Amino acid sequence: MAYADSGGHQLAYRLRSGAVGPDVVLFTPGGTIPMDFLERDRIGARLVEGLASIGRVVRFDRRGIGLSDPIHDWSVALVEQWADDLATIVATVCDEPPVVVSLGDYWGPARLFAARHPAALTSLVLYEPTGPAQSVELTPSVEDGFGDDWIGRVCPSRAGDVEFRDWFDTAGRTGASPSVATRLYHRPPEPAVQELAVAQTAIAVPTLVLRRPDNLLGSPAEPDPVVTSIPGAVRATLPGFDYHWLGEDVDSLLAAITQFATGKSRLPAPERALCAVLFTDIVGSTEHAAVLGDRRWRMVLDHHDRVISEEVTRNGGTVIKSTGDGVLATLPSADRALRAATTIHERLSRDDLQVRMGVHVGDVERRGTDVAGMSVHVAARVMALAGPGEVLVTASVPIAVAGTKHRFELVGEHDLRGVPGSWTILRNVMSPSH
């Protein structure tokens, strides 16, 4: 880590080596996450790794955040001060004009920098920029269904990730105190807003504006007010429901940035993670549907999905997707997966719904909001062997929960369709959950 002086403010910055190419200055003017926390999160680490496929990555804490000096003068609009900070970092660290990637460019400090210093950068990438003609509601409300669940609102793809919630809370609190954080989100004074409106029209470098129109805070419809005000700017639409850039769809973000900066979409190798994979399936779903009719069966499925989602989330896991009459979920441990499976069985049995379940512990490849890999196939094949109300597991599960109260009965050796080798299958002997 090193420091650069920006008008009497010492700015902390770090360098991450990368491919041969222009530097990438990563600017995160939205929020209070310090640079030192970014690679402690798996999505943050993947973001930095992906940007390193362009060139050396420069990260820094703007004044008022993390390891940089506090803000000395609150009478000067923060958009002005942060534009100066970006200019200082580029001038101090970059030998050649870099690509500037601004994530959450609230009120436009990166745009002010680009307008004032056109020769200091090669191109500009803006993710969900706001102002001067656009604003978003940055405080949770009861009416939107999330209450005070801020993460559920800005990053729903990770709302069930307990580890991410803890990291996000710790990072935000470390980055700035509550009183400072509140002031950071204030709309700048009108003169600064008007200056941005004028400055945007003077940006002379290639500019990419990234939007996720399905996010829960909302994005401006086309014609985009930021795109239309910057000469030659283009807009790219990303999939997903996250407003925050640390959502599971980070690969679509990286693909758009690398395509714009290099002419070729580049992604890091698929992310692999060790977890417990849980597959569920309703026994006799076709017969149930025929007896109940479409409308009543849909209500049963909705209840089934809700129960499974609640129990998986309660145990720190994530429902990856519905399979129609079942789900695929990942959980942080075999113990959590078995706890979830037991309670799912108990709750659905009360409604005369029998489910079969399969659990396997192994590596999976994360692909956006989906998972893939042999472990997923193994769990699916194990589930298919189960009878009504059974939870079958591979031998990886008893090993993972050794020393706990979970008990198992040997079912036998089985060949799993499409999976090499013979697999030892066991039955989880469920006891009432507490």
Domain residue spans of the chain: 2-262, 271-429
Contact 102, 184 (CB under 8 A): no
Q: Is the Cβ–Cβ distance between 114 and 207 less than 8 Å?
A: yes
Which tokens belong to 59? 């990260």
Largest Cα–Cα separation, the chain: 75
Alpha helices in 263-333 (DSSP H): 285-292, 294-314
Is 252 in a helix, a strand, or coil?
A: helix
Residue 147's pLDDT is 46
Closest CA to 259 of 328, 319, 208, 310: 208
User: How many Cα atoms within 13 Å fall on the side-chain side of residue 40?
Assistant: 14
Within 54-169, strands assigned E span 57-60, 99-103, 123-127
In DSSP terms, 280 is beta-bridged to 357
Q: How far apart are CA 281 and CA 267, in angstroms?
A: 34
Would you tell me which CATH number, out of the four given (1.10.3720.10, 3.40.50.300, 3.40.630.30, 3.40.50.1820), belongs to the domain 2-262? Answer: 3.40.50.1820
Could you check whether 2-262 and 271-429 share the same CATH topology?
no
Q: CATH: 3.30.70.1230, 2.60.120.10, 3.65.10.10, 3.40.440.10. Which one for 271-429? A: 3.30.70.1230
Across 248-260, b (16+ Cβ under 10 Å) vs e yields bbbbbbbbbbbeb
pLDDT given for residue 148 in this prediction? 65
For the packed helices 294-314 and 334-349, what is the interaxial angle rounded to 10 degrees?
150
As a whole number of angstroms, the distance between CA 32 and CA 48 comes to: 17
Cα torsion angle, 162, 163, 165, 169, sign? positive
**CA separation for the pair 275, 295 (Å, rounded):** 36
Instruction: Determine contact, residues 194/351, Cβ cutoff 8 Å.
Output: no
Give the β-pairing of 9-16 and 57-60.
antiparallel
Cβ 90 vs Cβ 101: under 8 Å? no
- Taking the CB of residue 397, how many other CB atoms lie within 10 A of it? 23
Cα(44)–Cα(60) distance, integer angstroms: 14
Three-state secondary structure of 185-197 = CCCCCHHHHHHHH
Residues 100, 123: contact at Cβ < 8 Å?
yes
**Three-state secondary structure call for residue 209:** strand
Distance (Å, whole) CA 238 – CA 253: 7
Residue 223: asked if its preceding bond is cis (omega within 30°), the reply is yes
Q: What is the pLDDT along the chain (434 residues), one digit of tens a residue?
A: 999 999 999 999 999 999 999 999 999 998 899 999 999 999 999 999 999 999 999 999 999 999 999 999 999 999 999 999 999 999 999 999 999 999 988 889 999 999 999 999 999 999 999 876 554 444 444 344 444 688 999 999 888 888 899 999 999 999 999 888 888 878 888 888 888 889 899 999 999 999 999 998 888 888 999 999 999 999 999 999 999 999 988 999 999 999 999 999 988 887 788 999 999 999 877 676 677 777 787 888 888 999 999 999 999 999 999 888 889 999 999 999 999 999 999 999 888 888 999 999 999 988 767 888 999 999 999 999 999 999 999 999 999 999 999 999 999 999 998 888 999 999 999 765 54
The pLDDT assigned to 141 comes to 40
